[in-house]
Amino acid sequence: MPPYPRGEPVNARGWAQRERHDLCDLLDEAGPDAPTLCEGWTAAHLAAHLVLRERRPDVGLGLVLPGPFARHTARATDRLARRGDFTALVDRVRRGPPFHLRPVDGAMNLVEFVVHHEDVRRVGDGWSPREGLGPLDDLLWGRLAKGARLMCRRLHDVDLTLARPDGAMVHACRGNRPATLTGTPVELVHFLYGRRERADVELAGDEGAVHEVRTGRLGI
């Protein structure tokens, strides 16, 4: 069994491990051909991506660099997804990162596994936001406070504020057209990572700004 702590997680690493474990349970239940919210990816592709991301630095380059790097990553992901032993592939994800990456598991994997957990949960029409995630929401809010400007940097002339239902706010980008995106941190993260149609948020403000936030480029 993987080294996941029992009980409620107490830090980013613990929550990253919890999200990893719960995602793997869903993948096992769904099967290799199940759809995900990652366009063009089945559950097998998602599991392959997670394995390669932690174990193949050459493949990791293609996650952020275009052209030949991205093509190499796509080919490697597809090859691993098609090998056929889906149960073994999910078990590799479940075991966690290699030993040398475990000290940075929380920093590296918290948002990654929250997003991909929801990529499997929210397929179809029967999903609803998870409840009782206060500590996880607080951790994600800290990530948004540090990373929102990077995620929103391609929006054109939008003055965007991220807001929690409790009234806390983070200024995401500056511009002349104001807009406010309101939701729990899990929902805000999901929206900013491009899952806009499957995020339970409210968006209000200047009409042009609202359109830009709904259709413009977001994410890393």
Give the count of domains, the chain.
2
Tell whether 26 and 95 lie within a shared domain. yes
* Residues 116 and 170 reside in one and the same domain: no
Answer yes or no: do 91 and 26 share one domain. Answer: yes
Domain stop point among 67, 94, 121: 121
> 105 with 145, same domain?
no
Domain residues for 53? 12-121
Through-space distance between the first and last CA atoms of the chain, rounded to whole angstroms: 33
In a domain, 208, yes or no: yes
Which residue among 121, 155, 182 closes a domain? 121
Note the pLDDT of residue 63. Answer: 78
2 occurs within a structural domain: no
Based on the domain organization, do 19 and 106 belong to the same domain? yes
pLDDT in tens, 5-50: 556 677 999 999 999 999 999 999 999 999 999 989 999 999 999 9
DSSP code per residue over 135-196: HHHHHHHHHHHHHHHHHTTTSSSEEEEEE-TTS-EEEEE--SEEEEEES-HHHHHHHHTT-G
Q: How sure is the predictor about 219, in pLDDT bands with cuts at 50, 70 and 90?
A: confident
48, 73 contact by CB (below 8 A):
no
Average pLDDT, the chain: 92
pTM for the predicted model, two decimal places: 0.91
Let me know whether 117 and 16 are in one domain: yes
- In tens, the pLDDT along 73-125 reads 999 999 999 987 999 999 999 999 999 999 999 999 999 999 999 999 999 88
Residues 19 and 116 in one domain: yes
CA distance 73 to 134: 35
State the pLDDT at residue 7. 62
Tens of pLDDT, residue by residue over 180-202, are 999 999 999 999 999 999 999 99
pLDDT tens digits for 1-14? 444 555 667 799 99
Residues 20 and 109 placed together within one structural domain of the fold: yes
For residue 174, give the CATH number of its domain: 3.30.1050.20
- Does residue 5 lie within any of the structural domains? no
